[in-house]
């Protein structure tokens, strides 16, 4: 879970390993922490906050920024938002 765009090599690795990259809104750490039901240390305990952990979560307020196929919202999103029909959507 992060807050920034991932580079091409990272996106490729995410797709290769059928993983996902989740993005949280900056400043929402409290909301994210409330969604964590349990944690389990996987590796590198000596790294403290950088250790690898497994989290069980429920209703976590995150967005899938890179999915398991390598589709990255930072690339596909702007292409969709620039469509001519987007300009015709009424905003109240």
Taking the C-alpha atoms of residue 88 and residue 34, their distance in angstroms, rounded to an integer, is: 39
What pTM, to 2 d.p., does this model score?
0.67
Length of the chain in terms of residues written = 92
State the average pLDDT for the chain. 88
Give one DSSP letter per residue of 32-56, joined into a string. Answer: HHHTEEEEEEEE-GGGGGGSEEEEE
Using one digit for the tens of pLDDT, what is the confidence trace for 1-31?
Answer: 887 889 999 999 999 999 999 998 878 888 8
């Amino acid at each position: 879970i992060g807050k920034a765009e991932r580079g091409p090599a990272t996106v490729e690795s995410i797709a290769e390993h059928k993983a996902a990259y989740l993005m949280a809104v900056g400043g929402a750490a409290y909301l994210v922490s409330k969604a964590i039901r349990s944690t389990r240390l996987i590796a590198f305990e000596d790294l403290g906050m950088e250790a690898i952990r497994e989290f069980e979560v429920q209703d976590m307020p995150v967005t899938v920024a890179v999915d398991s196929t390598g589709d990255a919202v930072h690339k596909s999103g702007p292409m969709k938002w620039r469509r001519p029909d987007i300009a015709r959507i009424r905003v109240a």
